[in-house]
């Protein structure tokens, strides 16, 4: 295998065979392909694309570049399912959905990521829980999935190592936005996890990576079709990210919001709608419900009975966190400064620059501007006023949680500029835009 010949063929618009793709990825895994060659390959794909067969082969090659999980010998009594989001602001769905599916009879080995750019990361949220081990070895991961029905961890060194190397180079080579490369990166990790079904939450809007609906739709279609070709049944929902999904955005504040959701003391409307819609797709896909109505009844029962909350608490404790997270959410980190950001006029919230809210959290220290930066888990926004909310002059648009007054000042300017108000009522858009299934 000569890497530059494979790069040349794709650069010139040719189609690569599965053997060529597998050979290239094997070279990546063994460090026989240089960083420059990986960057050149990624740029060639960025401009020339991959057809469905090529993308399936790339997904399979990266999935098989390390360990793969097989759950058939683990004595599980239900389907192995998962959910993945393309990233947003105030999107803590995974924290509720995994235990909800587990309470309905599924098993969820969820491999999640850290924050990327202005979007939050599930692992950063969970690591705001004292003692939580987001990177256990595969033996612990298996045991927690068997015992609790769900485990949310980060990508281990054993799973899809080729993807990890390629992604790091894509991030500095301006090729992150390639739909074929995004597709193969996401699905390779999911294939390696041994799933029987996957639901995708593809975001679009001001707070999403795919701001444009047409591009988000193309990504959702690519994910569903390539996953189907790789033998992983997948459904996708296009969801709106023109405002934060939850009324909280950050790390500890989103975990606290999730605990309230599971306990039933507070369930944000948009968050509930998206979580239920994804849960319905997962239960039907896994054969745990015969249709939408039965799936919705089961998910509602899992929430209202406390079964989902109990699964979440067991998972947290099994991965090193406290055993009383539900009873004592106050043990989560709390910022020294909690400042209400007051509206300057009355009116209905007309638009929110959701990306700007994500950047405000970076300003507060709740995200990373470099990979080696230690984040402030207590920083974030809560009580976020959503689109359509009517506010009086001097009513709060949100509460800023900051480590000091200077950080709060900086975040206040960013958040205030992100809001526009209208004197007229504003229509509330549904958070689920459409469903994407294989053709």
pLDDT for the residue 141: 93
pLDDT for the residue 287: 97
pLDDT at 313 over 90: yes
Measured between alpha carbons, how far is 239 from 431 in angstroms, rounded to an integer?
5
pLDDT at 373 over 80: no
Measured between alpha carbons, how far is 377 from 364 in angstroms, rounded to an integer?
10
pLDDT band at residue 116 under the 50/70/90 scheme:
low
List active site positions: 82-85, 122, 170, 185, 189-190
Buried residues in 233-243 as b, exposed as e (16+ CB within 10 A) = bbbbbbbbbbb
Lateral strand order in the sheet of 81-85: 81-85, 197-204, 234-240, 432-436
Degrees to nearest 5, angle at CA 220 with 362 and 78: 95
pLDDT for the residue 371: 59
Of 264, 260, 258, 351, give the one whose Cα is nearest residue 301. 264
pLDDT for the residue 61: 97
Of 329, 316, 307, 317, give the one whose Cα is nearest residue 260. 329
- DSSP designation for 344: S
pLDDT band at residue 317 under the 50/70/90 scheme:
very high
Measured between alpha carbons, how far is 223 from 198 in angstroms, rounded to an integer?
10
Higher-confidence position of 172 and 82: 82
**Separation in Å, CA 62 to CA 29, 299, 423:** 9, 34, 53
208: left (phi over 0), alpha (psi -120 to 50) or beta: beta
CA torsion sign, 157 to 64 to 163 to 196? negative
pLDDT band at residue 330 under the 50/70/90 scheme:
confident
Mean pLDDT of the chain: 94
Asked if residues 152 and 126 have their Cβ atoms less than 8 Å apart, the reply is yes
- DSSP designation for 271: H
pLDDT for the residue 304: 97
pLDDT for the residue 402: 97
pLDDT for the residue 73: 87
Cα of first residue to Cα of last residue in the chain, in angstroms, is 35
pLDDT for the residue 121: 82
Average pLDDT over residues 144-171: 90
Helices (H), 199-332: 213-229, 252-263, 269-285, 292-304, 307-318
- DSSP designation for 249: E
pLDDT for the residue 117: 63
pLDDT at 158 over 90: no
Measured between alpha carbons, how far is 272 from 270 in angstroms, rounded to an integer?
5
Reported as a single tens digit per residue, the pLDDT across 178-223 is 999 999 999 999 999 999 999 999 999 999 988 899 999 999 999 9
pLDDT band at residue 177 under the 50/70/90 scheme:
confident
Reported as a single tens digit per residue, the pLDDT across 11-59 is 999 999 999 999 999 999 999 999 999 999 999 999 999 999 999 999 9
Long-range contact list for 30-34, CB < 8 A, 24+ apart? 32/3, 33/3, 34/3
Beta bridge pairs of residue 85: 201
Q: Which residue has the tokens 């405002």?
A: 243
């Amino acid at each position: 295998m000569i890497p530059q010949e494979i790069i040349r063929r794709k650069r010139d618009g040719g189609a690569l065979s599965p053997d060529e793709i597998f050979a290239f990825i094997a070279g990546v895994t063994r460090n026989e392909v240089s960083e420059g060659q990986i960057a050149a390959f990624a740029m060639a794909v960025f401009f020339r694309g991959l057809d469905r067969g090529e993308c399936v082969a790339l997904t399979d090659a990266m999935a098989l570049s390390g360990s793969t999980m097989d759950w058939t010998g683990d004595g599980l009594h239900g389907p192995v399912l998962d959910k993945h989001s393309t990233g947003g602001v105030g999107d803590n769905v995974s924290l509720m959905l995994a235990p909800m599916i587990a309470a309905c009879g599924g098993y969820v080995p969820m491999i999640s990521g850290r924050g990327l750019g202005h979007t939050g990361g599930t692992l950063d949220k969970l690591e705001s829980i004292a003692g939580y081990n987001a990177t256990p070895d595969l033996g612990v991961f298996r045991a927690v999935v068997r015992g609790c029905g769900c485990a949310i961890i980060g990508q281990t060194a054993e799973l899809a190592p080729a993807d990890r190397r390629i992604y790091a180079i894509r991030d500095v080579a301006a090729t992150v936005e390639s739909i074929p490369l995004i597709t193969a990166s996401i699905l390779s990790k999911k294939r390696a996890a041994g799933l029987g079904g996957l639901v995708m939450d593809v975001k679009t809007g001001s707070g999403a990576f795919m701001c444009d609906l047409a591009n988000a739709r193309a990504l959702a279609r690519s994910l569903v079709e390539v996953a189907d070709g790789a033998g992983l049944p997948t459904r996708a929902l296009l969801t709106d990210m023109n405002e934060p999904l939850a009324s909280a955005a950050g790390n500890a504040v989103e975990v606290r919001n999730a605990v309230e959701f599971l306990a039933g003391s507070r369930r944000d409307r948009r968050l509930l709608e998206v979580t239920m819609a994804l849960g319905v797709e997962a239960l039907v896909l896994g054969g745990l419900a015969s249709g939408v109505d039965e799936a919705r009844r089961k998910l509602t029962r899992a929430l209202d009975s406390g079964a989902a909350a109990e699964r979440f608490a067991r998972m947290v404790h099994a991965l090193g966190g406290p055993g009383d997270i539900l009873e004592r959410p106050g043990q989560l980190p709390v910022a020294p400064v909690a400042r209400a950001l007051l509206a300057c006029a009355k009116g209905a919230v007309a638009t929110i620059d959701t990306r700007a809210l994500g950047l405000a959290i970076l300003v507060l220290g709740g995200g990373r501007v470099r990979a080696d930066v230690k984040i402030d888990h207590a920083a974030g926004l809560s009580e976020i006023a959503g689109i359509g909310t009517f506010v009086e002059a001097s009513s709060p648009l949100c509460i800023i949680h900051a480590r000091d007054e200077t950080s709060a000042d900086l975040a206040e300017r960013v958040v205030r500029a992100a809001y526009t108000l209208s004197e007229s009522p504003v229509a509330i858009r549904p958070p689920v835009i459409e469903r994407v299934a294989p053709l």
